[in-house]
Amino acid sequence: MRSLFRCGILVLIIVSFVAIAGTAWTAGIRDTRHNLSSTAPTAPITRNIYSTNVDEICVFCHTPHSALKDGSNKTPLWNHTLSTQVYSLPTGATWPNLITTVKQPDLGSKLCLSCHDGTVAIGSLANLPGPGSTGSVFMVGVSGSGAMPPTAYGYIGINLSGTHPISVPVNNTLITAKNTACTPGSGKYSIVYPPSDPRVKLKPTNNTYNDGSNGFLKTTPAGVNYFEGVQCASCHDPHNNNTDFLVIPGIGTGPPSKYHGTTNWSNWSALCTACHSGPC
C-alpha cells in the first residue's frame, strides 16, 4: 500500500509540473521575492536576495531529477538543501489557550524553513542547472555563510515559539478538546473543520496529537493519502503574488509582525476564521 501511495504522489507531482511549468505559475512567481533568478521581476517589486547568473526560477526549490527526500516522499521534487535545525517551539507560555503539545516541524514546513531559518545557504541545491553540475549558486544579499541574514524581512530564524503553531495535526480529538474548552464567555476559539474557505488547506503532517492520534486521513482519487495538519502552506502559497504570499490577502494595514498569529488578528480575519470560530 505504502509504495502505491508513493507512486501515486510522484505521478501526480510530475503531471502537475508538466501542466504548470511555463504557465500562470511562472508568471505569478516571477514578480515576487521568490524569484531568486538573475532575471529581475517587473517594477515595483524589488529584491535583496538573488542570483546574478542562474536565470531559472523553479530550480532554487524544485528539480525534475534526483530530488531530495525527507523520509516521506511527500516533498514536491525538492532541490533545496534541508535544515537539520532543532527549533524552539510554541508552548503555553506564549499561547495560553494552546492545547496541542507542538512537535518539531515536518514535511512541507521544513521546505520553507530550509531557507527561512537562516541556517542553510540560499544557493545550496542538490542539482545545479545544467547537466551533472554540483556546488552552490552564488547569491547576493545573503549572510557570510550564504544564508538568509537575520536582518532580512523574510527571516524567521530558529525560535518558532512566537510563530503560529505549525506541523500540528487536526483531528476529532483536538476538535472535541477545543470545543469543550470553548465555553460561553471563555473568550476561547474552537477549530473549524474542514477550513471554511477553500483557499485555506490543511497539509500533510506525520506529527501526532498529544494522545498519539494522527490528523484526519485525507484520501484523494489519485491515491495521494496523508494525515491533515497545519503547515506554513496552509496560510502561504509560495507561488502566488499576494502580499506575504498569503492564501487570502490581508484586509488591514498593520505592520508585519514576527509573531504572526498573535497580533493583528483583525487584519487577517478571513484567513484566521477559515479555521477558528469564536470567541466563545
Residues 11-70 contacting ligand HEC, CB under 6 A: 13, 16-17, 20-21, 25-26, 29, 33-34, 36, 48-49, 57-58, 60-62
State in angstroms the smallest separation of the CB of 101 from ligand HEC.
8
Of the candidate spans 3-11, 64-72, 111-119, 129-137, the one that interacts with ligand HEC by CB under 6 A turns out to be 111-119
Contacts (Cβ under 8 Å, ≥6 apart) of 95: 165, 262
C-alpha cell at 222: 489519485
Binding characters for ligand HEC, 115-154, by CB under 6 A (x = yes): xx-----x-------------------------x---xxx
* Ramachandran bin of 258, using left for φ above 0, alpha for ψ from -120 to 50, beta for the remaining angles: alpha
Q: Look up residue 243 and give its DSSP letter.
A: G
Residue closer to ligand HEC by CB (options 1, 24) is: 24
C-alpha cell at 30: 516571477
Among 89, 128, 147, 271, binds ligand HEC (CB under 6 A): 271
Measured CA angle at 239 (ends 158, 193), to 5 deg: 75
Q: Look up residue 204 and give its DSSP letter.
A: E
For ligand HEC, the binding residues in 204-263 under the rule CB under 6 A are 230-236, 238-239, 244-246, 256-258, 260-261
State in angstroms the smallest separation of the CB of 131 from ligand HEC.
20
C-alpha cell at 248: 487570502
Q: Provide φ and ψ at 134, rounded to 5°.
A: -130, 165
Measured CA angle at 85 (ends 246, 215), to 5 deg: 55
Q: Provide φ and ψ at 172, rounded to 5°.
A: -65, -30
State in angstroms the smallest separation of the CB of 133 from ligand HEC.
17
Give the strand pairing for 226-230 and 217-218: antiparallel
Residue closer to ligand HEC by CB (options 133, 141) is: 141
State in angstroms the smallest separation of the CB of 3 from ligand HEC.
20
Return d(Cα 104, Cα 97) in angstroms, integer.
Answer: 19
Residue closer to ligand HEC by CB (options 128, 275) is: 275
Binding characters for ligand HEC, 154-193, by CB under 6 A (x = yes): x-x-------xxx-x-x---x---x---------xx-x--
Residue closer to ligand HEC by CB (options 4, 148) is: 148
Q: Provide φ and ψ at 15, rounded to 5°.
A: -60, -45
State in angstroms the smallest separation of the CB of 7 from ligand HEC.
16
Among 113, 137, 147, 224, binds ligand HEC (CB under 6 A): 113
Of the candidate spans 63-71, 130-138, 198-206, 212-220, the one that interacts with ligand HEC by CB under 6 A turns out to be 198-206
Of the candidate spans 3-11, 93-101, 128-136, 216-224, the one that interacts with ligand HEC by CB under 6 A turns out to be 93-101
Residue closer to ligand HEC by CB (options 3, 151) is: 151
Contacts (Cβ under 8 Å, ≥6 apart) of 238: 29, 34, 61, 112, 245
Total residues at the site for ligand HEC (CB under 6 A)? Answer: 78
Which of these, 211, 70, 51, 33, lies nearest to 135 by C-alpha position? 51
Q: Return the bridge partners of 88, or none.
A: 159
Return d(Cα 177, Cα 189) in angstroms, integer.
Answer: 11
